[in-house]
Each structure stands twice: as structure tokens, then as C-alpha cells.
Amino acid sequence: MLRVRDPIHNYILLDELGSDLVDLPRLQRLRRIHQLGTGNLVYPGANHTRFEHSLGAWHLAGRAAAALELKRDDARAVQAAALLHDVGHGPFSHTADPLYRDYLGKSHEDLAIEALQKGAIPEVLQRHGVDPRLVADLVRGEGPLGSLVSGDVDVDRMDYLVRDSHYTGVHIGVDLERLVQDLVLTPQGIAIRESSITAAEMLLVTRLQMYAAVYLHRTCRVGERMIERAFRLALDGGEIKPEDLPRMDDLAATFLLRHCTKSDAWRIMLAVDHRKLLKVALEEPMGDYREDAITELAASTKRQQALEAEIAAALGCSPVDVIVDVPEPPILPEHSARVVLESGRVVDVDAVSSLVRGLGVAQRDHWRLRVMVPAAKRDAAPAKAGPILQRHLA
């Protein structure tokens, strides 16, 4: 048993399966992918990586499997899935997601599934008697145990919320012990005991809190979107090849972008390095716009670029330095989390928790459209960009 010291879980134990997987370059690469992408531009302590998060998910999966008294084969598959679920992430974590979509036509989950289908990972799994297809199902959240790895109250989320809190310094109230100990396997899938419903509620509230404080934080978004922009310039100009994206770590990405001099990519990357960031000139609740217009805009890089070009023209600056930021619409699929009542009945969590029922609406409070411009244009931008947004989206 290998013992790894972790500030969240104290000691994480890796058996031979775990340590053989961790030794693979695909996993070692996660050491160099920041969990929060450019989050350290706002929270200087947020330098933690997908690697330690993956170890943490493995650890919690093991504890949940023990609480559920899973059979050994299931337990090992669940742990492996938890360890491997993030293996498809690109440089700067979620920053790469829209690049994956537009240049590879894939998501990071797709890439994780691919990694489970051929190469060293399925070899190691098979050597240890674990079926890679079962692991892939679990990563997709499928099957009776799928919600442990990818669901509303899964080990991924349990680990990342507590871990992100530890490194950002944001205070949260998540009771990991209770969440992993009070799971029950029911005919409807994994459920949490009624007596621990407060722990489940707090996990979901905390997720909302962390969206507001970190994941959708104004400046974190600016950093992410600037790096995405630099990547697009380099990819469009052929200085970086799309198929290299999934192999890159944050440091290769940074170094390469610093040297992509055919376009403005190098200039943008340097600006991020020196923390000379674009400024948010306009920030509006999405509710101010037509839902269909926003949905289309969120899905189409082209439309975003057209809007950016129009605003840039109005401001008299390069479209390279204007970003219209439209985060994905928030989805809180609470219905997937289940609760076993003391009577034995299994119900959806929002049937018994008014608090959870209210979270979907509450999450919309933090869903904002933002226009990012050079510092020199910040004051002028609202008057110029506002009407353009109104015309296209209201």
C-alpha cells in the first residue's frame, strides 16, 4: 500500500491498481493541470491540480464503496473510475472545453472515454482484472453505481468543493464523513439516508456558493477567456495543432503560447502572465435578454465573434481585445439525487427539501453576460456596447 499525504483527506492509500494507474504518464500529466485553470489570478493559493483531485476522488470512492459494502469488483471499478474521470481534461481544465468542442468536436468526457478504450490505461485495468467498459460506464454516470462517480452527490463533487475551498480560502460547510457513510444502494440506485439530508443540501448549496465565489468569478472568467482567445489565434494560424491539445499540460500551453508570434496569441499570454487583464465593462443578468438569443449565442463561437467585432468597431479597438462572455446556462439536475426516507421509501431530494427546490432559481442569480474590454476602454464601453447587446439579444 502506497500512502500519500493529502491536506484534505490526511492519508490516501493506493493499492497496486491505484499506484499502477497513477504511474502512467496520462495521470502524471494531471500534476501540471491546474484544477481551477486561471483561478490563481484571483485566489493566489489556488494552484492545486487535477492530479490531487483525482487521488481525492479515488479515496472517497473507496470510502463510499466500503459504506455501501460493494463487492470487490464493483468497488475497484468505482475507485478506478473516480481516479480516471478527469483524464481527458485539457490545459487549464475547463478553459479548454470550448476549444475541444470547436476544434476536435469532442468533450473532455469523450476524451476520457477514449483513453479507457485503448492504450496503457485499459491495459493496466485488465491486468488487475478490472473491466475498462464498466469503468467507462461509471465515468458516464451509467448503471446503478454511476451516480457515485457522476451524479448530483458524487465523489467528484465532494472532493472538488472541499479541495477548492481549502486552496482558495472560501469557507464552506461540507460534511464529507456523513456524505460517504450514509449512502444506501436501493433499487432506484444510490441514495442518501433521510437523517443525512442536511449534508446533501449543504453540498448543493455549497456548489452554488462556489459558483458565485470562484467558478463564475468575474476575474477568473477574464483569465480563462483570454487564454482561450490566445489558443484560438494560435490554432487558427496553425501555430498549434488541435490534436496536440489533449496532450498538453498547463506549462507547455503557456510556454508555446508565449512563443506563438504570428498572431496576437503571444501578447495575450504575456498579458495574463503579467496579470494585465481585460476589464469587465458590462455585466448583466441573463434574465435581461431573450432566452433563445442567449442559448444560441452560448452555443456559437461565430455569433460571439460577430458581436465582439461590432463592439470593437464601436470602441475603436481590435476585436482581439473584446470578449463577450456567455457562460453555459446553469443546470442543477437535483432530481437525480435520491433520499431514502426512514419509512424506506426512496424519493427525489427535491420532493423533501424546499431548500434544494429553490436552488435552481437561485443559481440563475449568478448567470451573467459580461463584456470584457481593454482597461482604457472600460469607461466608454457601457454606452457603446449596451445598445448593441440590446439590439441583438433583447
Instruction: Of 73, 187, 201, give the one whose Cα is nearest residue 134.
Output: 73
Binding mask 159-198 for a second copy (x = CB under 8 A): ------xxxxxxxxxxx-xx--x----------------x
| Grid cell digits, residue 273 | 502572465
Out of 252, 293, 306, 347, the only residue in the binding site for a second copy (CB under 8 A) is 252
Classify burial at 218, counting beta carbons within 10 Å of its beta carbon; exposed 0-12, middle 13-18, buried 19 or more: middle
Per DSSP bridges, beta strands 189-193 and 338-340 are parallel
Instruction: Of 286, 306, 266, 280, give the one whose Cα is nearest residue 388.
Output: 306
Binding mask 311-350 for a second copy (x = CB under 8 A): ----------------------------------------
215 near a second copy (CB under 8 A): no
Strands (E), 215-255: none
CB of 169 to a second copy, least distance (A): 4
Q: How far does CA 184 lie from the centroid of its chain?
A: 27
94 near a second copy (CB under 8 A): no
H helix runs in 23-139, sequence order: 25-28, 50-68, 72-84, 97-99, 108-117, 120-127, 132-139
CB-CB contact of 263 with 234 (8 Å): yes
Strand-pairing partners, residue 34, are: 49
Binding mask 255-274 for a second copy (x = CB under 8 A): x-----------------xx
Binding mask 142-161 for a second copy (x = CB under 8 A): --------------------
Instruction: Of 42, 66, 51, give the one whose Cα is nearest residue 18.
Output: 51
51 near a second copy (CB under 8 A): yes
Out of 119, 238, 329, 358, the only residue in the binding site for a second copy (CB under 8 A) is 358
16 near a second copy (CB under 8 A): no
7 near a second copy (CB under 8 A): yes
Would you tell me which residues interact with a second copy (CB under 8 A)?
Answer: 4-8, 10-11, 23, 25, 28-29, 31-32, 40, 42-45, 47-49, 51-52, 55, 165-175, 177-178, 181, 198, 201-202, 205-206, 208-209, 212-213, 250-252, 254-255, 273-275, 352-355, 357-359, 361-362, 364-365
